[in-house]
Amino acid sequence: MMKSVGSVRSSGSTRSRLGALLVSVALGVTSPLLPATAAGTVKKGGKLLKKEAVFAKAAPATVLIIIPGQGKGSIGSGVIIEPSGLILTNAHVVESSPENVQVFLFNPKEKTLASTIQDYVKTHSPLIGKVVRRDSRSDLALVRLPTQAAGYPTIELGENDSLQIGQDVVAIGSPLGLTWTFTTGTVSALRNDKIQTETPLNHGNSGGPLLDLRARLVGINTSIRRDSQGPVFGFAIPVAIAQEFVHKWKTRPEPDLASGPPALRLSKNPMPLLAIVMRQDIEKLRRLNKERSNRQAETAVQSDLGEVESLSERILSEDLTVGQLIPRFLVQLGNISQHNRGAHDAAELPVQLQVEKAVEHLKQIAEEAK
C-alpha cells in the first residue's frame, strides 16, 4: 500500500502525465486561526531558531503512519495538533485504511535510526490510531490516538499571513521510509490553494509538517510536481483550508465505527463512484415501490429506503470509507428484500430484481477497490 502515499496526484481531481508528474508526498500545514484548544497554541513573532533547534522542538509532534498490507504496505507522516492526541494528516495517507492505522512516535533519546522502514518497525511498537474524519476534496484527515495521562507533544501554529516568498522553511517526515528526515528550502510561491516550496520532499512525507524557522506549523505537505527535466517543487495545504477542515469536524460528533458489520479491507476508496451508483439504485427502487398495490409492503420498503438514503449521506461526509459503507448497504438491501418478499403484487418481482442489481453493483465496486 505504498501506493496511497506515493501515488500521483494533480492539483485538480484528474491525474495528468502531460508535461508534469504530480506525486503525493508530505508537506505540513496549520492555522493561527485555529483555537488553542483545537490545534495547539498560536504565537506571533518570536525569535528565529537554529535548524537543529527547530527539529528538536517539532520532531516529537511529527508521527510516522503505517497501514500494513500486501508488500511493504502504506506509509506517511502526520502532525499532532492537540495534546489529547489528535493528528492532522493527508486523506490519501489513510485512504486504504478502513479504520485503524499504526502510529509511531519520535523518541528524542535515539541519536540514530534504522536505515529502512522494515528494520525500524522490527524494533519499535506502534500506537493504534483511529481515523475519525477524512475529506478527499481537501486531502485532509484526522486520526485519534489513545488517551494518555501525560498528553502528547504538539507543534505551535504559524500565522495565516506570515509566509513570504523566499522565506526559509523546513519539513520533517519519512520520505522513502527514511524515518524523521529533516529537509530545508524556501517558499517558492504562494498559490490560491497551495504553498509552493522547493524543500526536498518524497514519498512518505505526505501529511507531515512544513515549518518556519520558529518551529511553527505553516502547512501540511501533500504533493510534489516533478518535470521530466526541470526542478522538483513541493506543495503544502494552506492554513486556512486546514482551519476550515478542523473546525467543521469539531462541530460534529466522531463517527461510531464500532457499530455495524465488519469492514472490507480495500486498497482504494472510490467514494464518487459509490455515491453515483447508490443514488441511481435508490431512485429506481423508490420509483418501483411507489407503483405497488400492497400498501403494507410499500410502507415497510419505504422505511428501509429511508435508512439507505441516510447511509448514503455519509458518503458525502466521508466519515466512513467505501470498505465500511458497502457491508452496511448490503444489510439494508437485505432488509428491503425481506420486506418485499411475499408482497404478492405486480411490483414484487421488479423490486427484487433491482435489489439484486444493487447488490451486484456493490460487489463490483468492492472488487475494483481491492
Catalytic one among 96, 206, 223, 312? 206
β-bridge pairing 216-227 and 20-24? antiparallel
Which class for 137: exposed (0-12), middle (13-18), buried (19 or more C-beta within 10 A)?
Answer: exposed
**Dihedral through CA 68, CA 71, CA 73, CA 74, nearest 10?**
-170
- Whether 61 and 105 have beta carbons less than 8 Å apart is answered as no
Catalytic one among 31, 74, 77, 92? 92
DSSP state of 40: S
Active site (annotated) includes residue 92: yes
Return the bridge partners of 197, or none: 187, 234
C-alpha cell at 127: 500506537
Based on its alpha-carbon atoms, the radius of gyration of the chain, rounded to whole angstroms, reads: 23
**Rounded Cα gap, residues 188 and 197, in angstroms:** 5
CA atoms within 13 A on the CB side of 334: 6
Active site (annotated) includes residue 139: yes
**Rounded Cα gap, residues 28 and 90, in angstroms:** 10
Active site (annotated) includes residue 206: yes
- Whether 218 and 28 have beta carbons less than 8 Å apart is answered as yes
**Rounded Cα gap, residues 233 and 22, in angstroms:** 9
Instruction: Go through 138-166 and write b for each residue having 16 or more CB atoms within 10 A of its CB, e for each that does not.
Output: bbbbbbbbeeeeeebbbbbbbbbeebeee
CA atoms within 13 A on the CB side of 49: 18
Catalytic one among 139, 212, 281, 304? 139
**Rounded Cα gap, residues 295 and 275, in angstroms:** 29
Catalytic residues: 92, 139, 206
